[in-house]
Amino acid sequence: MAGCSGKLRTLLGRWLELVEIQKEAIQRRAPVETLQAVIGAKEELKEEVAQVLPGPGNGGSSFTPLLKQIFEREKQAQELLTGWLGELREEIARLHQGQEAMHAYLKTGAASGARFFDKRR
């Protein structure tokens, strides 16, 4: 049981590290591929933890504080991700409005009178 306990503590520590890496990646607006890799690694780790996690009444209560800490950090990462996705939605909506305005301008025929010239000449 002691070996199992040590392995579980190591896995939970790694999970906490991955959550911190995820938070940092979100804060620095890392590429989506980076986030996918971190989230994938966390999912694999969760499966390993589930296999090693002791059942109720088998001494698993010693890991409760660490699990609570992981849960809180996961919540923080989720909130950061939600904020970032909100910013992306706003940016996409703004770009879409600009695109619609350009299409409307081109359809009205007002663009036919517009002349583009090279200022260097």
Per-domain boundaries in the chain: 2-53+67-108
Residue 5: the pLDDT is: 80
Residue 50: the pLDDT is: 84
Residue 115: the pLDDT is: 58
* Residue 87: closest CA among 32, 29, 35, 36: 29
pLDDT digits (tens, 9 = 90+) for 54-77: 766 666 677 888 889 999 999 999
Question: What gap in Å lies between CA 52 and CA 46, rounded to an integer?
Answer: 10
* Residue 19: closest CA among 54, 56, 49, 62: 49
pLDDT digits (tens, 9 = 90+) for 39-55: 999 999 989 988 887 76
Would you say residue 1 has pLDDT above 70? no
Residue 99: the pLDDT is: 87
- Per-state percent for the chain, helix, strand, coil, to nearest 5: 85, 0, 15
Question: What gap in Å lies between CA 38 and CA 77, rounded to an integer?
Answer: 12
Question: What gap in Å lies between CA 73 and CA 40, rounded to an integer?
Answer: 17
Would you say residue 30 has pLDDT above 80? yes
DSSP class of residue 109 equals T
pTM > 0.85: yes or no: no
Residue 106: the pLDDT is: 78
Q: Are 15 and 72 in contact (CB under 8 A)?
A: no
Torsion of CA 15, 20, 22, 27, to 10 degrees: 170
Question: What gap in Å lies between CA 60 and CA 78, rounded to an integer?
Answer: 26
